[in-house]
Structure 1
Amino acid sequence: MTALPAAGSAVTDLALVHEALPASDVVEGAPTTAVAVLDDTGEREIGIWEMTPGVATDTEADELFVVLSGRAVVAFDDPALADLEIGPGSVVRLAEGMRTTWTVTETVRKVYIA
């Protein structure tokens, strides 16, 4: 996890440290993810999250996010909802416990509130 400097930084330029996803979550490729927590009050967390190209499954947290860069398709496995194409400017609300499959074609960076 990367910490944000106290004086602030451009979130698009913030260097993030990536880690491999658990093999059980990877469907295709070798995607990695990174997180930088910007604020954590204990009741909510605001941060930057990034995923490199590949396909992976996830169980979502209750969150709202805005995509800063990249492209992906989020497939909703449970509950079954229409696939969602996301890119810069997309605003998405996820509910805790949703099962999703992320197909990232260009590294996705988002700001999230969870």
Structure 2
Amino acid sequence: MFRVLDVDAPVPTTPLAPATVVDGAPEAGSRALAAVAGVEVGVWEMSPGTATDVEVDEVFVVLSGAATVSFEDGESVDLAPGSVVRLRAGEHTTWVVRETLRKIYVA
């Protein structure tokens, strides 16, 4: 038996903490879809703007939107539908979201 996961359902968002916002007034939120072998699978969304974050161990696939995520070491990755990225716990990142970003994550 299987269960269809609705990755298109609305994700509740809230304004990001002011200390993390670099530009604009981005909002973000997530919705858990399932737990598989103790790992969470969910959908995360962020509206346009720039914000910093400290990451958790995660792999994600971008479903829609456009953004760039930059890392402390100077590397940056342009994100578009189909992008697959691995984040490591403790990494400091800066997210520049140009078009509302929606991703499915495994963490």
Q: TM-score, normalised by structure 1?
A: 0.86
Matched residues, number: 105
RMSD: 1.5
Segments ≥4 residues shifted beyond 3 Å: 7-10
Q: Which runs of 5+ in 1 are unaligned?
A: 1-6
Q: Which sits farther off after the overlay, 40-49 or 23-32?
A: 40-49
1:68-103 Cα offsets, whole Å, 9 max, x none, are 0000000102xx042110100000001000000000
Indicate the residue corresponding to 1:3 in structure 2.
none
CA distance in 1, matches of 2:11, 2:38: 24
Identity %: 47
Structure 2 Cα separation of the partners of residues 17 and 64 of structure 1: 21
* Contiguous gaps of at least 5 residues in structure 2: none
Deviations 1:19-64 (A, max 9, x none): 0110011000000001110113583111000000000000000000
Q: How does 1:39-78 map to 2 (within 5 A)?
A: 39-40=34-35, 43-77=38-72
| 1:88 aligned to which of 81, 84, 88 | 81
